[in-house]
Amino acid sequence: MIRTPLRPLARILDAREKGENPDAIERENKRIRHEQMRDASRQRAEGRLLVLGVFFFCAFAVISGRMAMMATSDPTEPRGAAVGAAISAARADIVDRNGNLLATNFETHALYAQPKHLVDPVGSAKKLVGIFPDLKEDRLIRTFTGKRKFLWLKKKISPEQMQAVHEIGDPGLMFAPRDMRLYPNGTLAAHVMGGASYGKEGVDAAEVIGVAGAEKFFDDYLRDPANGNKPLQLSLDLTVQAASERVLYGGMKLMNAKGATSVLMDVYTGEVISVVSLPTFDPNDRPRPAIVGDASDSPLFNRAVQGVYELGSTFKIFAATQAIDLGLVNAETIIDTAGPMKVGGFRIGEFRNKNYGPQSVTGIIVHSSNRGTGRLALQIGAKRQKEFLKSLGFFEATPFEIVEASGGKPLLPKKWTELSSVTISYGHGLSSSPMHLAAGYAAIANGGRKVKPTLVKQYGPQLGERVMSERAASDGRMMLRKVVSEGTASFGEVPGYQVGGKTGTADKPKPRGGYYDDKVIATFASMFPAHDPKYVLIVTLDEPVETSGDKPRRTAGWTAVPVAAEMIRRVAPLLGLRPTVEPGAPIGITLTSSN
Amino acid sequence: MKTVLYILTTCAVIGLAFWAYRENYATQQAFSDTAKLRVSIRNAHSRLAVLRAEWAYQNRPDRLRDLAEINFERLGLLPLHPDQFGQVDQVAYPPQPLLPITNPVDVSNMEAYP
């Protein structure tokens, strides 16, 4: 590079000769040089800007090109990504606590027709009626030859029927793939399962939605594609459920009852191991809800959670345990149960106008004395009784996870007077479902902690809030054991399982007020083994009558108790409970009579 | 020197282009294999689902109970009963097989004295 000197000698000398300032030449040259430098750097900067501009343009062009391509291309599944096994379009299965299948999906097809593509509408219609006898031939011919472009013929068809339709060979008859909800065990646990049906239907697929029971309650979980291969595990035990249903059905028939229900619940975890409501139905072919008549006569009616009944004397134990818990009495305190007793202008009577005289609190429960528990209730007072029953969950619907449970709201008296307090202490005036009763008894059985019945498998005890002291609960259990060993529930004895429980026989209310004389709800609320209960079992029979004697017997001791005992005998070994041998009567001492 | 460089570069470009071409087709092949595998996995899944449903259906309690009743003479199956529980120590150990006798010793020596 040629550098022009700032002070070229020739020009300096020339300037000196002329008497000019030679510094001006230097300044002039400096200025020119600076201008050149400035031009050069400007050019470089402009070049850089250009490159940057081109770069940005290219980047934006690439992005917008990619966007345009994405917007206009057809969607495809990612082919290179890992297998999408975690996402499944099918509804999740439902299994029992041991993983046995309770509900699953089955691929099937729906049949539809596009009449304008039919080659031989009349012939196809005739052949279709041959395969599906419930289709009407003349109507089919009318629609096939009419103006309709599309019609559904059948929602679900079997593979054999599909093959038969294939053999008709008409291109206008088409199949649409369908996922069908299948309950392989048929009527087993039908009320818990509920049933499923189709929501939005398209030619390629149809969504399966739960319509009742756990299928509806857990609909969001079951439909979530992320849960496709994570089955919903319930607390039910398939084997126990099947045995309970069998025993209860037999009992219902033997006792000539029109309905029956049973609830078997773990007292620590609140898991419902089996819940039966009879009569039942097949969730694979769910009947239509009854439009006329009493809803409770429909097989769809779930007596265990929706059947809100006055459960009779089974409530007495709540009054007794509360009185002990409050320190008002102990199990041996003597209370006079003699009449007459009048509360709020009403006479409180006993079963068959008996008179038990002075009785200990245990005796009141063992003999099921109305006046005895009534007097306990008067000592407790309406306010405390109300709070106690509320803490046991008798004031709202159970949180049991099927949709019907929210409909089983207990019926409470509008005004909690002294009279209602007394009647409620022996189970009249407050209607609740057998599931409520199971939760209440579970609190006594587990040592005084509230338990919420649940349908989902649990992995530990609930440890709810304390509703009564350990001592009150243990005294309650002792009294319940005595009811079976020496009281009204003597048929409830199951060797080896120390059943404790309380019977309850309540007259059915007439729809227009008053009570029937010959229609009862017989309930046996039990727990076993009574010294350290693990399970609570509630058996309720609707309108039972036992006719082996001279007179028809309707009390729970004759009807519900034997059924419950047989159920415990069958179910306890299945639950893995080993029978324990109680110490027998001392050998060698015989009770003799002088006459 | 420059010519050699040019030739080498051209060869490299041709070689890389050939490699990329092959890789492209290999990838396409892998994709279509994956797609086929997916389909067969899906079919296997649905077959499995059918089999599971079939298994559950065949093992439904109603049917097993009926089968147990029909075959009662041969199997003698009854519902589990409380008195069928036992203790582990009530179960006898299987008898041990006797050890083989390898070197028999004569305990009688009557034959020694004729």
The listed range with the strongest mean pLDDT (A62-66, A102-106, A309-313, A462-466) is: A62-66
Give A105's contacts in chain B (Cβ within 8 Å): 49, 53
Residue with tokens 């126990």, as numbered in its chain:
A240
Res. A357 pLDDT band, cuts 50 70 90: confident
Res. A589 pLDDT band, cuts 50 70 90: low
* Residue type for position A575: L
SS3 track for A430-456: CEECHHHHHHHHHHHHCCCECCCCECE
User: What is the predicted pLDDT for the residue at B83?
Assistant: 80
User: What is the predicted pLDDT for the residue at A97?
Assistant: 92
* Mean pLDDT for chain B overall: 87
Give me the residue from B53, B59, B85 closest to A573, CB to CB.
B85
SS3 track for B34-96: HHHHHHHHHHHHHHHHHHHHHHHHHCCHHHHHHHHHHCHHHHCCCCCCHHHCCCHHHCCCCCC
Question: Any chain A CB within 8 A of the CB of B74?
Answer: no
Residue with tokens 């029927």, as numbered in its chain:
A161
Res. A312 pLDDT band, cuts 50 70 90: confident
- Average pLDDT on A426-449 reads 92
Q: Quote the CA–CA distance of B13 and B7 in Å, as a whole number.
A: 10
Give me the residue from A80, A106, A243 closest to B50, CB to CB.
A106
The listed range with the strongest mean pLDDT (A11-25, B5-19, B54-68) is: B5-19
Task: Name residues whose C-beta falls within 8 Å of residue A521's C-beta, 6 or more positions apart in sequence.
Answer: A309, A310, A311, A312, A504, A505, A506, A508, A540, A541, A542, A543
**Do the domains A97-233 and A239-574 sit in the same CATH topology, yes or no?**
no
pLDDT surpassing 70 at residue A585: no
Chain A residue with minimal CA distance to B78? A570
Reported residue count of chain A is 595
Task: Name residues whose C-beta falls within 8 Å of residue A480's C-beta, 6 or more positions apart in sequence.
Answer: A317, A365, A444, A500, A501, A502, A526, A527, A530
pTM for this predicted structure: 0.80
- Average pLDDT on A44-64 reads 97
Share of chain A above pLDDT 90, in %: 43
Choice among A204-213, A292-301, A305-314, B47-56 with the minimum mean pLDDT: A292-301
pLDDT tens digits, A75-129: 776 666 655 554 566 788 999 999 999 999 888 888 998 888 888 888 888 888 8
User: What is the predicted pLDDT for the residue at A117?
Assistant: 87
- Average pLDDT on A317-328 reads 93
User: What is the predicted pLDDT for the residue at A309?
Assistant: 87
* Mean pLDDT for chain A overall: 88
User: What is the predicted pLDDT for the residue at A20?
Assistant: 86
Minimum distance, in Å, between the CA of residue A193 and any CA atom of chain B: 15
Cβ contact (<8 Å) for B83 and A579?
A: yes
State the number of CA atoms in the 13 A half-sphere of A305 facing the CB: 26
Better-scored residue on pLDDT, A471 or B90: A471
Q: Quote the CA–CA distance of A23 and A12 in Å, as a whole number.
A: 9
Q: Omega of the bond prior to A529 within 30 degrees of 0, cis?
A: yes
Question: Domain locations in chain A?
Answer: 97-233, 239-574
- Average pLDDT on A278-303 reads 84
Minimum distance, in Å, between the CA of residue B52 and any CA atom of chain A: 8
User: What is the predicted pLDDT for the residue at B108?
Assistant: 67
Res. A584 pLDDT band, cuts 50 70 90: low
- Average pLDDT on A248-257 reads 93
State the number of CA atoms in the 13 A half-sphere of A529 facing the CB: 15
Res. B109 pLDDT band, cuts 50 70 90: low
Choice among A211-225, A317-331, A520-534, B96-110 with the minimum mean pLDDT: B96-110
Q: Quote the CA–CA distance of A493 and A479 in Å, as a whole number.
A: 14
Give A243's contacts in chain B (Cβ within 8 Å): 79
- Average pLDDT on A326-334 reads 90
- Average pLDDT on A164-192 reads 89
Cβ contact (<8 Å) for A79 and B31?
A: yes
Secondary structure class of A492 (helix, strand, coil)? helix
Cβ contact (<8 Å) for A107 and B46?
A: yes
Provide the chain B residues 16-55 that lie in CB contact (below 8 A) with chain A. 31, 34-35, 38, 41, 46, 49-50, 52-53, 55
Give A246's contacts in chain B (Cβ within 8 Å): 65
Better-scored residue on pLDDT, A287 or B14: B14
Res. A546 pLDDT band, cuts 50 70 90: confident
Question: Any chain A CB within 8 A of the CB of B79?
Answer: yes
User: What is the predicted pLDDT for the residue at A80?
Assistant: 61
Answer yes or no: CATH 3.30.70.330 is held by domain A97-233: no
8-state DSSP, A427: T
**CA Rg, chain B, in Å?**
39
The span from the first CA to the last CA of chain A, in angstroms, equals: 148
Task: Name residues whose C-beta falls within 8 Å of residue A224's C-beta, 6 or more positions apart in sequence.
Answer: A92
- Average pLDDT on A169-195 reads 89
Q: Quote the CA–CA distance of A487 and A247 in Å, as a whole number.
A: 24
pLDDT surpassing 90 at residue A217: yes
Cβ contact (<8 Å) for A105 and B49?
A: yes
Instruction: Identify the helix (H) or strand (E) that includes residue A497.
Output: none
* Residue type for position A416: W
Burial (Cβ within 10 Å: 0-12, 13-18, ≥19) of residue A391: middle
Better-scored residue on pLDDT, A4 or A40: A40
- Average pLDDT on A342-364 reads 85
Residue to substitute from B85, B87, B89, interface A, most A β-carbons within 10 A:
B85
Q: Quote the CA–CA distance of A285 and A128 in Å, as a whole number.
A: 23
User: What is the predicted pLDDT for the residue at A96?
Assistant: 92
Give B51's contacts in chain A (Cβ within 8 Å): none
pLDDT surpassing 80 at residue B113: no
Res. A487 pLDDT band, cuts 50 70 90: confident
User: What is the predicted pLDDT for the residue at A531?
Assistant: 86
User: What is the predicted pLDDT for the residue at A470?
Assistant: 92
Cβ contact (<8 Å) for B60 and A185?
A: yes
Chain B residue with minimal CA distance to A179? B46
User: What is the predicted pLDDT for the residue at A157?
Assistant: 87
Share of chain B above pLDDT 90, in %: 47
Task: Name residues whose C-beta falls within 8 Å of residue A261's C-beta, 6 or more positions apart in sequence.
Answer: A248, A275, A276, A277, A278, A303, A304, A307, A434, A538, A539, A540, A542
Secondary structure class of A12 (helix, strand, coil)? helix
pLDDT surpassing 90 at residue B100: no
The fold for domain A239-574 equals: Beta-lactamase (3.40.710)
Choice among A36-50, A317-331, B40-54 with the minimum mean pLDDT: B40-54
Chain B residue with minimal CA distance to A182? B53
Task: Name residues whose C-beta falls within 8 Å of residue A471's C-beta, 6 or more positions apart in sequence.
Answer: A324, A325
Burial (Cβ within 10 Å: 0-12, 13-18, ≥19) of residue A226: exposed
- Average pLDDT on A178-197 reads 90
